[in-house]
Amino acid sequence: MGFRRSILNLLLLCYFVYAAATVAVEEEAEEFHEELLLKPLPDRKVLAHFHFESKANLSPSNGGRHFRLFPKSIYQLVHKFHIREMELSFTQGRWNYEYWGGFDPISRNNARPPGVELWAIFDVPPSQVDALWKNLTHTLSGLFCASINFLESSTSYSAPEWGFRRSSDSLRYGTLPREAVCTENLTPWLKLLPCRDKAGLSELMDRPSIYRGFYHSQRLHLRSSEFSPMDLDSGIRLEQTLTIVLQPGSQRVGMSYNDEAITQPSWSMSSLFGRKVNGRCVLAKSSNVYLQLERGLVSELKNLWKENDGSRSDDVTNENFLTNSVFELSVSSDRLIREVVSLDNEESSVLYLFWIEKNADAKPFDLALIWKRPVIWSSSQAPLHANRFLMGSGNERGSIAVSLKPAEHVESYLATGLSDNECKLRVDVFQVVPWYVKVYYHTLQIFVDGQIQPIYNVIEKMRVSPSEDKVSPGVLELVLKFPCDMKSAALTLEFDKGFLHISEYPPDANQGFDIPSAVITFPDFQPNFHFDEDSNQSPMLSRLKEISPALAYTEVLLVPLTTPDFSMPYNVITITCTVFALYFGSLLNVLRRRIGEEERLLEDRAAKKVGPLRLLFLKLSTKLRGRPLERVHSPPSSSSSAATKLVFKVVLVAAIASAWQYYYK
Amino acid sequence: MEDDDRKSSTKNKPQKFWEWAIASMILRLILIYFSKNLNFSSRPEVSTPLTSLRRLAEGYWLKQSSLSPYAGSMYHGSPLLLAVIGPLTAIRISGQPSHLLCSFLFVIADFITAMLIRAMGQKLQSAYSQHLKSLGLDKVLKAPEMLSSGDVAALVYLWNPLTIVTCMGSSTSPIENFFVTLSLYGACARLVPLASFGLVMATHLSLYPAILFIPVILLLGYGIDTPPRKLFLQKDSGNEMKLSSDISSQHIGMTNHLALPSFSWRLPMYFLLWASIWSCYILALCAVSVYKNGGLKEMFKRTYGFILTVEDLSPNIGVLWYFFAEVFDFFRDFFLIVFHMNILFMILPLAIRLKHRPCFLAFVYTAISSLLKSYPSVADSALYLGLLGLFANELSDMHLSFFLFCGYVGVNLLSPIMHNLWIWRGTGNANFYYATAMAYACFQIILVVESVSAMLKNDRMLRRLSTIKDSCIEKTTKIS
């Protein structure tokens, strides 16, 4: 007994020693960062953007199987399905491109269509991609408690070639616009964080205050270089972001936003979330809070200061910037990061950095922004505003229209974007249409400034993969080139509404069906922030620095489809079959009427010479019917023949039945 | 139906056929200019997934974009039609309604169809009167209500509102009807290559005319509609009896013997040969045109497969769409087989019973297939109503004809209303529209049943007349 115990102890000791030795290695192999970006929005709302990043280097030393911080389920996912890149987003609400920014890295990275959006790039030959995708959807649906498994069916996902992202043919893209997103999706997402929501910034995620917001998008981005042997730094990077738009001081929601005299509502983290940050997540390598003042706001602030006291220098980096006449911060920032802009006439946005480590050790960290004077500014706009509509009435047909309107300051963007003498504005459109919306692609019409244009004047490149009934959705990828000075543009496509089998309608069929958002990309415009100092430390800032084209998602369209009567399949079956029986029976009856006549003739002849056996039958049948023989003298021949026929039929059936029985014994 | 009211007009002025025909053409040409306002092309009664010109334009566009025309479950027609009509859909004359050239094509197709029907009617009538004469039933011909059935049928076809609507509604069915009529005319006129070409093309376009193979064979084998063979045999036997008593009537007996219809295999064999040649030719053309896009297998899957499996459940005037929208998936295949077998089941009994009247048999087959086909439209009704006009004389004592006329008018007025209520206003229900489809099916059934029974009754009447006549002759010979 004692001996066994000592062996056990020894083994345990060995294990601990080994673990302690490996921790040092793994600390380099795995990293976790948590960051929060807060940004006041022009329409009196506040954007809160949580960014968590886990990184795991798959060194051969630990076999890539043992993790301290990195969620193992994600590693298994990547490993099993050979994922090169994947993004899954759960969104509730629609991003307001006009007020919340349509041309900054945050909106580009985090504005997502309502419901679930999933895309993945696989690292396998194209023939195996579909099978992997189907398995992946099931796994994710189990992992995130969502009906992502509906993306398994080939009618709901598509394989964009170049319209969505520049990628190979191993990309699959699917959306579920109807998916309701709620706390049961957030909880498994939080489980992937090393501190869950027990410590660190995720402590702020008080469910009622998060879901009270105007917009809520929870995103999971995976990038793996496990399967690319060229990359020495092989590893998996898991990026989890939660973007929320909240209304501070929700008791004043009813007020008009356009009233210029009203100052922005002041807010603090505790008033927004109902909680404070009690400390950092100790497992995190960095734990920062940023407050961003965007370009428009900064230039507006400068104007205000100039008006107020021209003496003060308009250097935003000035230390007394914190206690200025327009707003006040409750906590002094630890660092100030300025954006580097290429052009002189442009303002640069400003980031205040707060280290949780430093600020939250004595008392809980609670950043507050108190506005003293009204400020009106506008956020950065995408070069074109994209909207999508349904046209037409009735449930038979309709048309989809995508309208593109240049934003107010498009000229300045265009000046930066292009310097050719022939100015063209390039727009990529990627649109997936479910099969029951049967689009006539030959009806594609393009209007520029209200004038219909020959489509090949505008379309540079086009790829159509028409929808197949009950097999695949229709995919439209377009590269459009518009003249820069256009005032408006519109694309219209006509469609017929399909009719489904009753089992294919969802439970609330009368609500209608959703056409997923179209993705409008502006490849010539690549919003990104250049910061004045090396900010490689922060993964969020490096994400903001990334160069990729601006994109916008259009509205989800709700198409009402005609419904059959769900309650009466039996009636329909029986009535239809009755009509067919009527047809068959009556036509056959007409055709054999002559034969009947001839038979009657023959019987009349036969009745004249009734044999003794037949007379017996006659008497028998009349007796069975209980009628006197005399009364039915004229028709008896037919009745007797009917009786013989009946007897014959009974005998025949009995014989067949007995033969059947005998045969199958 | 419509022939009832036409009869009177044509009876009074039989010579004014051309005026009426040209007037109908002018009406069509006038209506073409308002086709945009009339908006027939999107009516479910007119354009089915198989015949819609809009879908054809989509198929043509896909083909021009170097995709398969069958990609996207839009186009389900023939690749040949795509090659012929496709370019016409792409041409747009500014200021004119779209598909103007196609509409002209359809007007011409309608006109030729009517002319073929007229020619067929004239052949039918001359052959029929000859037969009756040979039977010695001249007094049937002398009856005052005897009409020139070809003119009646052609005018019924031209002035039928259903035909006009189909012609305006940009669907390819006028072409299909044209080929069906062409094959029947070819068989009547004993032009074997023409008959086989028409039949092969019609089958290629819409599959169901394949059952017209039997009437065409009978037409070529037996010749045009005749009174039943038995009558001639009776007549012959009567003549032989007469022959024994009276030698002077030998000449008449000889002529009767010549006119006796008997099945000759020469023309049907030619027909089979030509049909196989034409079908090989058409398949070769199709193979060339769909060579890059999956070949003939894909074409058959997308055209015939689409017809037979009733994939599109959008409402039409038939009954199958709602049935297959509601029926449980488990039974779908069973009912598909049952409904298609229903067409085939009736082929043989009808062929046996009406083999002496192949043209009428063709009419009955057309009506049945229009009743039971998966995507019916009013164009099918227009065709069989036109053919019905050919038998205006024989079917003059048809039962329920006024009731049927009212029923057709009523259903054709009610069905768009129910469709509007259900689809556009959302106040109605699918069952309302389905009920009109049901009623329409019932009326068609009654029409088929009643016309068949009237035709059989007509034959019976002829037999009675001939037997009476024979007995009279016998009596007279006995007395002499």
Mutate to test the interface with B, among A590, A593, A598 (most CBs of B within 10 A): A590
- Residues A154 and A470 sit within 8 Å (Cβ to Cβ): no
- Residues B418 and B433 sit within 8 Å (Cβ to Cβ): yes
Considering only alpha carbons, which residue of chain B is nearest residue A564? B430
Nearest to B423 among A395, A572, A575 (CB): A395
- One domain, residues A477 and A529: yes
Structural domain contains residue A309: yes
A499, A525, A559 - which closes a domain: A559
Q: What is the full DSSP assignment across A391-452?
A: E--SSSEEEEEEEEEE-TTHHHHHHHH---SS-EEEEEEEEEE-TTEEEEEEEEEEEETTEE
Question: Residue A617 has what pLDDT?
Answer: 74
Structural domain contains residue A145: no
- One domain, residues A331 and A220: yes
What DSSP designation does A7 have?
Answer: H
A653: domain range?
A: 609-663
All residues of chain A having their beta carbon less than 8 Å from the beta carbon of residue B72 are 441, 466-468, 474
- One domain, residues A255 and A336: yes
- CA B262 to chain A, closest CA, distance in angstroms equals 22
Q: A464, B442: Cβ pair inside 8 Å?
A: no
Q: B327, A466: Cβ pair inside 8 Å?
A: no
Q: Which two tokens stand for residue A644?
A: 């013989």
Question: Residue A115 has what pLDDT?
Answer: 92
Q: Report pTM.
A: 0.84
Length of chain A: 665
Question: Residue B474 has what pLDDT?
Answer: 64
Residue B101 has a CB neighbour count (10 Å cut-off) of 17
Question: Residue B108 has what pLDDT?
Answer: 93
Structural domain contains residue A127: no
* Helix (H) or strand (E) run with residue A304 in it: helix A295-308
Structural domain contains residue A567: no
Mean pLDDT of A293-316: 70
pLDDT in tens, A526-574: 877 877 666 567 888 888 888 888 888 999 999 988 888 888 889 999 9
Least Cα distance to A585 among B337, B449, B381, B355 occurs for B449
pLDDT reading at A255 higher than 70: no
All residues of chain B having their beta carbon less than 8 Å from the beta carbon of residue A467 are 72-73
What is the identity of the amino acid at A176? Answer: L
Structural domain contains residue A120: no
Q: Which two tokens stand for residue B291?
A: 């060579």
Question: Residue B250 has what pLDDT?
Answer: 43
At residue A601 the predicted structure's pLDDT band, cuts being 50, 70 and 90, is confident
B431 versus A6: which is more confidently predicted? B431
CA distances, B461 to each of A207, B228, B457, B458 (Å): 90, 11, 6, 5
All residues of chain B having their beta carbon less than 8 Å from the beta carbon of residue A588 are 346, 349
Residue ranges of domains in chain B: 2-236+261-479
Q: Which residues of B222-235 are buried (b: 16+ CB within 10 A; e: fewer)?
A: bbbbbbbeebbebb
Rounded to whole angstroms, how far apart are CA atoms B51 and B175? 10
Structural domain contains residue A493: yes
Length of chain B: 480
Rounded to whole angstroms, how far apart are CA atoms A123 and A179? 28
Instruction: Give the helix ranges, DSSP H, for A82-150.
Output: 105-110, 126-144
Mean pLDDT of A337-364: 78
pLDDT reading at A474 higher than 50: yes
Q: Which residues contact A161 (CB under 8 A, 6 or more apart)?
A: A169, A463, A477
Question: Residue A313 has what pLDDT?
Answer: 47
- One domain, residues A193 and A311: yes
Q: Name the domain count of chain A.
A: 3
Q: Which residues of B245-258 are buried (b: 16+ CB within 10 A; e: fewer)?
A: eeeeeeeebeebee
Nearest to A394 among B312, B346, B424 (CB): B424
Integer-rounded Cα Rg, in Å, for chain A is 37
Per run of 10 residues, the mean pLDDT along chain B (length 480 residues) is 44 69 92 78 87 90 89 89 87 71 90 94 87 74 69 91 89 93 93 94 93 92 76 64 46 46 82 94 92 86 91 90 91 92 89 89 93 92 92 86 94 93 87 93 94 88 77 63
pLDDT in tens, A442-466: 999 999 988 888 888 889 889 999 9
pLDDT reading at A323 higher than 70: no
- One domain, residues A222 and A314: yes
Question: Residue B258 has what pLDDT?
Answer: 46
Structural domain contains residue A467: yes
Question: Residue B36 has what pLDDT?
Answer: 72
- Residues B368 and B451 sit within 8 Å (Cβ to Cβ): no
- One domain, residues A496 and A634: no
pLDDT in tens, A614-635: 677 777 776 666 655 444 444 4
Question: Residue B1 has what pLDDT?
Answer: 42
Q: What is the full DSSP assignment across B392-431?
A: TTTTTT-TTHHHHHHHHHHHHHHHHHHHIIIIIIS-S-HH
Question: Residue B217 has what pLDDT?
Answer: 92
Q: Which residues pair with A453 in a beta bridge?
A: A446
Dihedral sign from CA coordinates of B377, B383, B389, B390: negative
CA distances, B417 to each of A515, A609, B315, B421 (Å): 30, 64, 14, 6
Considering only alpha carbons, which residue of chain B is nearest residue A585? B449
Question: Residue B3 has what pLDDT?
Answer: 46
Question: Residue B238 has what pLDDT?
Answer: 58
Least Cα distance to A351 among A145, A49, A641, A577 occurs for A49
Q: B353, A591: Cβ pair inside 8 Å?
A: yes
Look up the CATH number of the domain holding residue A406: 2.60.40.740
A535, A559, A583 - which closes a domain: A559
Question: Residue B245 has what pLDDT?
Answer: 47
Least Cα distance to A284 among A364, A224, A196, A220 occurs for A196
CA–centroid distance for B54 within its chain? 24
pLDDT in tens, A366-408: 888 888 878 888 888 888 889 999 998 888 889 999 999 887 6
- One domain, residues A101 and A249: yes
Mutate to test the interface with B, among A511, A572, A573, A577 (most CBs of B within 10 A): A572
Q: Which residues contact A114 (CB under 8 A, 6 or more apart)?
A: A91, A92, A93, A94, A177, A517, A556
Structural domain contains residue A260: yes
At residue A252 the predicted structure's pLDDT band, cuts being 50, 70 and 90, is very low
pLDDT in tens, A478-511: 999 888 888 889 999 999 998 999 888 888 888 8
Rounded to whole angstroms, how far apart are CA atoms B467 and B478? 16
Q: Which residues of A410-442 are buried (b: 16+ CB within 10 A; e: fewer)?
A: beebbeebbeeeeebbbbbbbbbbbbbbbbbbb
Q: What is the full DSSP assignment across B328-388?
A: -GGGHHHHHHHHHHHHHHHHHHHHHHTTT-HHHHHHHHHHHHHHH-SS--HHHHHHHHHHH
Mean pLDDT of A270-275: 88
Question: Residue A260 has what pLDDT?
Answer: 47
- One domain, residues A208 and A76: yes
Region of B294 on the Ramachandran plot (φ > 0 left; ψ -120 to 50 alpha; else beta): left
Q: What is the full DSSP assignment across B189-221?
A: TT-HHHHHHHHHHHHHHHSGGGGGHHHHHHHHH
pLDDT reading at A232 higher than 60: no
What is the identity of the amino acid at A383? Answer: P
Share of chain A above pLDDT 70, in %: 80
At residue A256 the predicted structure's pLDDT band, cuts being 50, 70 and 90, is very low
Rounded to whole angstroms, how far apart are CA atoms A517 and A119? 14
- CA A468 to chain B, closest CA, distance in angstroms equals 4
- CA A477 to chain B, closest CA, distance in angstroms equals 14
- One domain, residues A528 and A645: no
pLDDT in tens, A324-350: 677 888 888 888 888 877 665 667 788
Rounded to whole angstroms, how far apart are CA atoms A365 and A359? 6
Mutate to test the interface with A, among B440, B445, B458, B460 (most CBs of A within 10 A): B445
